[in-house]
């Protein structure tokens, strides 16, 4: 009997041990195994500031600029002069679409001219007046100063109302000093000031064109669409290549002083554009390079001509021969100087109305320009071939400079009638043109960077199996802070700082978006995932499950017995 | 009928009046229409990504497909710098090729599509799903040279051509991995988010090709496939001398169609959709245009297959009068000189052999191809040297198996 009790007891303890074993295994699997498996198979996704990024999704930009209006002697009556200096603020609001809003804030400061400015305005010509005014004080980036001069002044020619100088000043011919309220005079002057500001600084169309990525196509005018297609998008750097194409080295021994020409004519422009982007310049000479199109001899001008339709097919065969800097991914601007061979000289380009083009050059949007340079008038029939020819770089660079300005985004301002714009001079670019470019580039950078960051966040959210490393999170954070700083500086009216921050923002956002590690892992459809996991987990889970079921069954049976015993 | 005889002159009068009143002469501003046409398509440059996803001798036709499309695209104007060509490139110098250094696309060896100016950007074992997706999304390591990148912008029209062996929802890459239609759709969405294309034309010539474009959801995509789900794309013709099939049917008829296109032609996409009907192809080609914003009847073939540049006459020039000034030579900031061609870049475990393009040299106009040096590690394949002779730089047992 004792043995029976012992074996029965042992049997019971065995069962108990078995029960405890099954329970503990199940506990380990659930408490330790599943979290471990989950942790080791999840993709590492660093934390991103999603709330800030969502804020950036709706872009509400405020552009502030200062306009200083200086009244010289003779434009205001003495009573009116007492009320000046005066500051007014004007705001314009534009609702672009549900995610984008624009507000323009003009801070107008009215004052009278100082003695030194009056002296400067007494110069014989407008250019000299502009230069002396510039010597007196330099206006900050992004601002405009308008000097109102009396109607009788001889500075401006007859039918010219506004003279826009090389820096940030303009001379406006005011009406005769009329009496009455100062406010009336100011409001009469307002539309003209607005015209000046729209020419010298940003206009609503420019800003809309800069936002062309974000907004629907239909809202842009055809001209601004053409402008946006022609110039390169904002990029941290550009590669500029000047090429001389000589198809006939046997006849022409061409020499071009490209180093000196670039240093004298192109480099000042590029230096001035340094805050906007980095530029690197190359040059090369190609021999035996031909245009892909055969020019036809036109008897009316007794020269060979290229019609406007055939120009489109010139570029492709040449482009195959041009080299490019393999190390950088910056956009390339190509400027080609083609000297036709002796048998096809002179060569002229005709426009759509069959007239010869003065500049003898054409350009292609977002690619560069080609100029045809005829040298047949440099030598006669008896010359000894090859003829040594020095190319007139000033003429050539004049054309290339104009094309370069178009390609880099310096839009040709279409001034209203009555405006006279001073030519840029040796710098190649006036200060107010630079300001215009900076406004549109800043807005473009801010828009592009915010679109990049928001779409990156959206993508990472959507595609769940992309690994997000810490450095990407760092870049995103940098981009977000730079963007916020850029928007704040735009509001405050500091254009230079805003541009700098926007460039940093774009660099950081591009680096984050195009990081090589952001490749999504292979996509596995759900049935494949099951097919992989079932052979691993099922053999392990089946015994545990069965033993748990058995335990549950025994428990139920015991409870039934206990209930039966009680009854 | 009785009524007709009396209303007939009335009809003539009304017709006459209609012509007088409503059909006014169209103003002949040819320049304006040309200018508006210039910017109607919205793109300023063209790119092409041509991928052959198979290797091994019996997949000769896929390489021939891709090279034929490459030739057409080059003929119509897209330069090599704008074409990313991914091929296994093991046909021309294959041991089994009776005519080494050639790849023919037509029987009786009529057209050698390999030639001597084929620039393959991703070759051999570099043609992987990862590299393909990296090219599309732009997420390449910083050391990647320009020729291997897709440097498109928001005004680029891109042509993507894929060929190889595929199935329902996937495409096989080099017999070792697959790309699924979900991944492809996601890649295009990433391209759209970053505005890496203006419009994209996707052509696929594989079995069950239509399944690959089922999942697209980004705008401005147009897709063509050689066969529907459940159908096989068949090959066109074997060449008994070479011993393999030379081309696939869909691409063969596509090329016949493209032979009639020249850079100035006005043929539209609607004609492209009619290429290779079931009677010729034995499979039903499909297309998808619901994501495309323009009407396919107004989309020119050369918008994708060619590279017609938009051109404007330069009207303004700057008057420069200052004489030339020379810089002081202590200024090292600028670099001026002839651009150097990048040489070979190792990418991934296999050796990378970019064919060197003919450089614009100052002295001669002939181009010479240098033999690429075999980099350590990885198989040493056969390469095409001068005059189309295959030089053997190294043999692996792998090649002997073919």
* φ, ψ (nearest 5 deg) of residue A506: -65, -40
**Rounded Cα distance, A270 and A464, in Å:** 45
In a domain, B390, yes or no: yes
Task: Identify which has the larger pLDDT, B375 or A448.
Answer: A448
For the segment A174-181, the average pLDDT, to the nearest whole number, is 68
CB contact (8 A) between residue A519 and residue B189: no
Helix (H) / strand (E) containing A86? strand A86-97
Residue B24: pLDDT above 60?
A: no
One domain, residues B390 and B241? no
Across chain A, what does the average pLDDT equal? 85
Across the interface, do B77 and A316 touch by the CB < 8 Å criterion?
yes
B330 within a domain of the structure (yes/no): yes
Q: Which of A222-236, A500-514, A530-544, B92-106 is least confident?
A: A222-236
Q: Which of A424, A513, A520 sits opposite B194 (nearest CB)?
A: A513
Whether the pLDDT of residue A153 is over 50: the answer is: yes
- Integer-rounded Cα Rg, in Å, for chain B is 26
* Model confidence at A295: pLDDT above 80: yes
B143 in contact with A at a CB cutoff of 8 Å?
A: no
Report percent pLDDT > 90 for chain A. 17
**Among A217, A59, A223, A466, residue whose Cα is nearest residue B220:** A217
Same domain, B271 and B363: no
Cβ under 8 Å to A: B residues 344-373: 358-360, 362, 365
Residue B199 lies in a domain: yes
Nearest to B91 by CA among B80, B82, B100: B100
pLDDT at A80: 78
B311:A213 CB<8 A: no
Question: Is the predicted pLDDT of residue B240 greater than 70, yes or no?
Answer: yes
Considering only CB atoms, which chain A residues are within 8 Å of B338?
282-285, 323
B-chain residue closest to A330, CA distance = B151
Residue A289 has pLDDT above 80, yes or no: yes
Q: What per-residue confidence (pLDDT) applies to B349? A: 34
Q: What is the pTM for the complete model shown? A: 0.78
Task: Give catalytic status of residue B207 as yes or no.
Answer: yes
Mean predicted confidence (pLDDT) in A133-148: 84
Measure A247 CA to nearest chain B CA, in Å: 11
Chain B hits for A523, CB-CB cut-off 8 Å, are 180, 182-183, 186
Q: What is the ipTM of this complex?
A: 0.80
**For position B69, what pLDDT does the model report?**
94
Residue B31, in any domain of the structure: no
Q: B197 and B113, same structural domain? A: yes
Q: Is B106 within the bounds of a domain?
A: yes
Distance, in angstroms, between B353 CA and closest chain A CA? 16
How many domains in chain B? 2
Of B242, B273, B305, the residue at which a domain comes to its end is B305
Burial of residue A435 (CB within 10 Å: 0-12, 13-18, 19+) is buried
Residues B124 and B224 in one domain: yes
Of residues B378 and B275, the one with the higher pLDDT is B275
Contacts of A513 in chain B (CB under 8 A): 194
In a domain, B24, yes or no: no
Let me know: does B110 contact B241? Beta carbons within 8 Å. Answer: no
So what's the pLDDT on residue B327?
67
Is B373 within the bounds of a domain? yes
CB within 8 Å: B323 and A264: yes
Model confidence band, residue A445 (pLDDT cutoffs 50, 70, 90) = very high
* Mean pLDDT on B70-74: 93
Angle between helices B60-75 and B249-259 (to 10 degrees): 20
How far is Cα B122 from Cα B140, in angstroms, rounded to an integer? 13
- Asked if pLDDT for residue A486 goes beyond 90, the answer is yes
pLDDT band at A74 (very low <50, low <70, confident <90, very high): confident
Greater model confidence, A335 or A466? A335
Distance from CA of A338 to the nearest CA of B (A): 15
Residue B318 belongs to some domain of the structure: no
Cβ–Cβ below 8 Å for A327 and B365: no
Catalytic residue, chosen from B52, B207, B276, B354, is B207
Q: Is A525 within 8 Å of B42 when comparing Cβ atoms?
A: no
Distance from CA of A316 to the nearest CA of B (A): 6
B99/B208 same-domain check: yes
What is the span of the domain harbouring residue B390?
A: 326-401
Quick one: B178 and B267 in the same domain? yes
Give residue-wise pLDDT tens across range B276-326: 888 888 889 999 999 998 899 999 999 999 887 888 888 888 888 778 777
Q: What is the pLDDT of residue B214?
A: 93
**What would the mean pLDDT of A105-128 be, rounded to a whole number?**
85
The Cα A126–Cα A20 span in angstroms is 101
Q: Express each pLDDT in B325-345 by its tens digit.
A: 776 654 444 444 333 333 333
On whether both B43 and B120 belong to a single domain, the answer is yes
Residue B354 bears catalytic tag: no
Question: CB B149 to CB A233 under 8 A?
Answer: no
Q: Which CATH number characterizes residue B89's domain?
A: 3.40.50.1460
CA distance A14 to A20: 10
pLDDT value at B5 more than 70: no
């Amino acid at each position: 009997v004792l043995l029976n009790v012992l074996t029965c007891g042992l049997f019971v303890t065995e069962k108990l041990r078995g029960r405890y074993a099954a329970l503990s295994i199940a506990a380990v699997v659930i408490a330790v195994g599943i979290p471990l498996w989950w942790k080791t198979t999840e993709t590492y996704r660093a934390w991103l500031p999603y709330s800030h990024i969502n804020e950036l999704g709706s872009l509400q930009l405020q552009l502030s600029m200062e306009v200083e209006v200086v009244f010289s002697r003779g434009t205001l009556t003495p009573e009116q002069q007492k009320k000046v200096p005066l500051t007014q603020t004007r705001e314009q609001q534009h609702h672009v679409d549900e995610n984008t809003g624009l507000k323009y804030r003009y801070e107008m400061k009215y004052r009278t001219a100082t003695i030194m400015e009056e002296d400067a305005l007494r110069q014989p010509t407008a250019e000299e007046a502009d230069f002396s005014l510039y010597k007196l004080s330099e206006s900050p980036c992004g601002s405009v100063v308008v000097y109102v001069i009396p109607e009788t002044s001889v500075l401006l020619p007859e039918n010219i109302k506004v003279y826009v100088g090389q820096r940030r000043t303009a001379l406006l011919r005011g009406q005769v000093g009329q009496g009455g309220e100062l406010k009336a005079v100011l409001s009469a002057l307002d539309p003209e000031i607005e015209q000046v500001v729209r020419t010298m600084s940003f206009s609503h169309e420019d800003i809309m064109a800069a936002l062309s990525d974000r907004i629907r196509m239909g809202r842009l005018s055809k001209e601004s669409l053409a402008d946006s297609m022609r110039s390169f998008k904002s990029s941290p750097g550009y590669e500029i290549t000047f090429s001389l194409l000589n198809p006939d080295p046997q006849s022409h021994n061409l020499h071009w002083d490209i180093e000196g020409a670039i240093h004298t004519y192109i480099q000042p422009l590029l230096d001035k554009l340094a805050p906007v982007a980095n530029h690197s310049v190359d040059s090369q000479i190609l021999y035996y390079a031909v245009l892909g199109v055969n020019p036809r001899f036109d008897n009316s001008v007794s020269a060979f001509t290229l019609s406007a339709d055939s120009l489109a097919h010139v570029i492709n065969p040449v482009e195959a021969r041009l080299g490019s800097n393999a190390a950088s991914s910056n956009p390339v601007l190509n400027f080609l100087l083609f000297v036709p061979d002796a048998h096809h000289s002179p060569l002229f380009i005709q426009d759509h109305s069959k007239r010869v083009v003065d500049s003898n050059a054409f350009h292609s949007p977002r690619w560069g320009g080609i100029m045809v340079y005829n040298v047949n008038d440099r030598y006669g029939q008896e010359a000894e071939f090859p003829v040594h020819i020095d190319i007139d770089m000033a003429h050539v660079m004049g054309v290339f400079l104009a094309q370069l300005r178009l390609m880099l985004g310096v839009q040709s301002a279409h001034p209203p009638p009555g405006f006279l714009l001073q030519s840029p001079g040796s710098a190649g670019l006036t200060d107010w043109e630079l300001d215009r470019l900076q406004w549109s580039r800043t807005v473009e950078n801010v828009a592009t960077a915010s679109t990049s960051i928001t779409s990156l966040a959206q993508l990472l959210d959507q595609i769940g199996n992309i690994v997000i490393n810490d450095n990407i999170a760092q870049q995103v954070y940098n981009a977000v802070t730079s963007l916020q700083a850029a928007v704040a500086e735009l509001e405050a009216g500091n254009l230079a700082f805003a541009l700098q921050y926007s460039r940093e923002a774009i660099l950081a956002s591009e680096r984050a978006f195009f990081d090589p590690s952001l490749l999504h892992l292979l996509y596995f459809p759900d049935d494949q995932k099951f097919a992989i996991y079932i052979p691993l987990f099922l053999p392990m889970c089946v015994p545990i499950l069965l033993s748990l079921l058995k335990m549950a069954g025994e428990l139920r049976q015991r409870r039934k017995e206990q209930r039966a015993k009680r009854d | 009928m009785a009524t007709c005889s009396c209303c007939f002159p009335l009809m003539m009068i009304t017709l006459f009046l209609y012509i007088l009143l409503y059909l006014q002469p169209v103003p002949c501003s040819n320049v304006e229409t040309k200018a508006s046409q210039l910017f109607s398509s919205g793109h300023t440059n063209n790119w092409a990504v041509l991928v052959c996803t198979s290797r091994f001798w019996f997949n000769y036709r896929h390489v021939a497909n891709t090279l034929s499309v490459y030739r057409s695209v080059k003929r119509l104007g897209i330069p090599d710098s704008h074409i990313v060509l991914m091929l296994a490139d093991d046909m021309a110098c294959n041991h089994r090729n009776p005519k080494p250094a050639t790849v023919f696309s037509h029987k009786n060896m009529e057209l050698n599509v390999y030639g001597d100016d084929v620039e393959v950007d991703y070759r051999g074992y570099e043609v992987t799903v990862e590299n393909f997706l990296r090219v599309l999304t732009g997420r390449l390591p910083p050391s990647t040279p320009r020729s291997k990148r897709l440097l498109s912008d928001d005004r680029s029209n891109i042509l993507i051509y894929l060929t190889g062996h595929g199935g329902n929802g996937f495409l096989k890459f080099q017999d070792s991995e697959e790309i699924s239609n979900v991944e492809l759709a996601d890649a295009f969405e990433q391209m759209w988010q970053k505005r890496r294309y203006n419009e994209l034309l996707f052509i696929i010539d594989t079995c069950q090709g239509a399944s690959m474009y089922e999942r697209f959801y980004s705008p401005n995509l147009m897709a063509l496939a050689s066969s529907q789900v459940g159908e096989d794309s068949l090959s066109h013709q074997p060449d008994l001398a070479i011993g393999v099939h030379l081309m696939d049917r869909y691409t063969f008829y596509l090329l016949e169609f493209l032979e009639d296109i020249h850079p100035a032609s006005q043929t539209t996409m609607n004609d492209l959709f009619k290429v290779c009907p079931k009677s010729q192809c034995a499979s039903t080609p499909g297309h998808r245009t619901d994501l495309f914003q323009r009407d396919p009847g107004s989309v020119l073939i050369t918008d994708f297959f060619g590279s017609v540049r938009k051109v404007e006459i330069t009207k303004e020039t700057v008057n420069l009068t200052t004489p030339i000034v020379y810089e002081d030579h202590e200024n090292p900031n600028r670099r001026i000189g002839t651009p150097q061609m990048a040489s070979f870049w190792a990418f991934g475990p296999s050796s990378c052999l970019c064919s060197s393009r003919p450089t614009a040299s100052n002295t001669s106009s002939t181009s010479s191809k240098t033999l690429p040096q075999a980099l350590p590690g990885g198989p040493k394949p056969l390469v095409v040297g001068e005059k189309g002779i295959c030089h053997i730089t190294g043999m692996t047992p792998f090649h002997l198996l073919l």
